[in-house]
Amino acid sequence: MPLPADSLRVSNHELATVREAMRELHRLLDQLDDGQLDKIVLTQRNQMRAVLVSVERYSQLEQRAA
């Protein structure tokens, strides 16, 4: 069952529009790798659409879910 977007805790520096993410993907990935960001929430038309996390973080989440 998907969580409603209203229940997500997101700070402003974790938000990026899809367009910005396309232009700045390298920088955003570096910030994830460096631990500057835990996640990046992609928005489109002022709505949260997807969350970008590092492979390590995704693996942790998958293991926790199992």
For the chain, 66 residues long, give each residue's pLDDT as a single digit of tens: 455 666 788 999 999 999 999 999 999 999 999 999 999 999 999 999 999 999 999 999 999 999
The predicted pLDDT at position 7 comes to 74
Spatial contact of 21 and 39, defined as CB atoms under 8 Å apart: no
Q: Which domains does the chain have, with CATH numbers?
A: 9-65 (3.40.1620.10)
Return the SS3 of 45.
coil
Q: Does pTM surpass 0.95?
A: no
User: What pLDDT sits at residue 62?
Assistant: 95
CA 15 to chain centre: 8
Concatenating the DSSP letter of every residue in 5-47 gives GGG----GGGEEEHHHHHHHHHHHHHHHHHTS-S-EEEEETTE
Residue 32: predicted pLDDT: 95
